Amino acid sequence: MSLNLENLARRIGQKWIIQNLNLNVDPGECLALLGPSGCGKSSTLRLIAGLDKPTRGSIYLLGKDITNISPLKRRVGMVFQSYALYPHLDVYNNLALGLKIRGISIKDQKHRLDNVLGLLKLDLLSNYMPSQLSGGQRQRVALARALLRDPDLYLLDEPMSNLDAQLREDLRPELRNLILGNKQPVVYVTHDQQEAMAMANRIALLKEGRLEQIGTPKELYLRPRTTFVAGFIGRPQINFIKREPGIIVGIRPEDVKFSIDGLPSKIIHKEWHGSNQLLLLDSKFGKIRMITKANMDIPSDINLTWSKSKEHLFREDSKEAIIKD
């Protein structure tokens, strides 16, 4: 493996920000750190980068213990939410500076710069100063700078958070092909589950500084180990229904169907999403979400059902999954 975190933990005062985190990222793999605000995603990235010191635990990169090594010596390409561009240099020279320092030839500099400027749609902005750029444009420059460094490890902290929705959608496949086309491991921090599922080979879902579950996007979606994972992964959010004795049933909105003699329910809200519509219904079990085709004319009072095979079962006391036979 290229990156290995062993029992990594960080405490600020009496609060543990990261708790006994064990992770590995293989060469050419993108691991997304996903979770709500305050779960420890960016704090973990800062520990890997060397910007903060762990309270305990170790960080290994290419088999070498880098826990106490200076950030400048860690050979990582970082993109954080702060852009840190040189205000007196235009876009082209902000990007070229690192290549010049590393002694890259003029010809090779131009080739690399032209490629990354085109990829990130910055070619028409190469003569602009940072003060002339929007937040999204500055973030693209910071991303381009990390891609040019040719590091041993990429650390990306919400690299597309300031981009508009269309540009994020356009950039995702190209960025994924670019970062996964190399041998370096990638740690990708995001709060956006859609982005994590689109970009990452595996997702590490964090909750209050702890690793809740790690696996492929498909594994987290189809086999969540806790109600937290089931509720965080998937949009619209999964339905939870309490059942005797002490069992919580999770059923995803896309698995809820109409039935003549099913659960009586009443539509209380509709959202049109283009090719489908989201229904919010009231039932004796509480509110239930359901996805249907957009062109269906649905009465306000309907009956619902779902297949037992689509149910996710959890223990009410521990919120942990019940493994089906």
Please say if the pLDDT value at position 248 is more than 90: yes
Confidence of residue 144 (pLDDT cuts 50, 70, 90): confident
**Token pair 């999964």 in the structure block, residue:** 238
Please say if the pLDDT value at position 135 is more than 80: no
CATH code, 236-315: 2.40.50.140
More confident residue, 245 or 295: 245
CA distance to 61, 95, 127, 304, per residue, from 74 (Å): 8, 20, 31, 56
| Domain 3-224 shares a fold with domain 236-315 | no
Question: Residue 297 corresponds to which tokens in the numbers above?
Answer: 């004319």
**Model pTM greater than 0.95?**
no
Ordered DSSP codes for 62-89: TTEE-TTS-GGGS-EEEE-SS----TTS
Supply the DSSP symbol for 254. G
Q: What is the pLDDT of residue 325?
A: 59
Residue ranges per structural domain of the chain = 3-224, 236-315
Q: What is the pLDDT of residue 178?
A: 67
Give rounded-to-5 percent helix, strand, coil for the chain: 30, 35, 35
The answer for residues whose C-beta is within 8 angstroms of residue 125's C-beta and 6 or more apart is 91, 133, 137
Instruction: Report the 10 Å Cβ neighbour count for 82.
Output: 10
**Token pair 């370096």 in the structure block, residue:** 184
Please say if the pLDDT value at position 173 is more than 90: no
Instruction: Report the 10 Å Cβ neighbour count for 93.
Output: 15
pLDDT digits (tens, 9 = 90+) for 91-106: 999 999 888 888 888 8
What's the whole-number mean pLDDT along residues 210-214? 97
Q: CA angle 260-265-270, nearest 5°?
A: 110
Which of 132, 127, 196, 131 is CA-nearest to residue 159? 196
Confidence of residue 145 (pLDDT cuts 50, 70, 90): confident
Please say if the pLDDT value at position 307 is more than 80: yes
Q: Domain 3-224 falls in which CATH fold? A: Rossmann fold (3.40.50)
Where is 241: in which H helix or E strand? Answer: strand 239-243
Amino acid at 108: D
pLDDT digits (tens, 9 = 90+) for 256-296: 999 988 999 999 999 988 889 999 999 999 999 999 988 88
Please say if the pLDDT value at position 88 is more than 70: yes
What's the whole-number mean pLDDT along residues 236-247? 92
Q: What is the pLDDT of residue 82?
A: 64
| CA 64/CA 286 separation, integer angstroms | 53
| CA 237/CA 18 separation, integer angstroms | 27
What's the whole-number mean pLDDT along residues 109-134? 88
| CA 52/CA 106 separation, integer angstroms | 36
Amino acid at 145: R
* Lowest-confidence pick of 17-31, 142-156, 263-277: 142-156
| CA 263/CA 90 separation, integer angstroms | 63
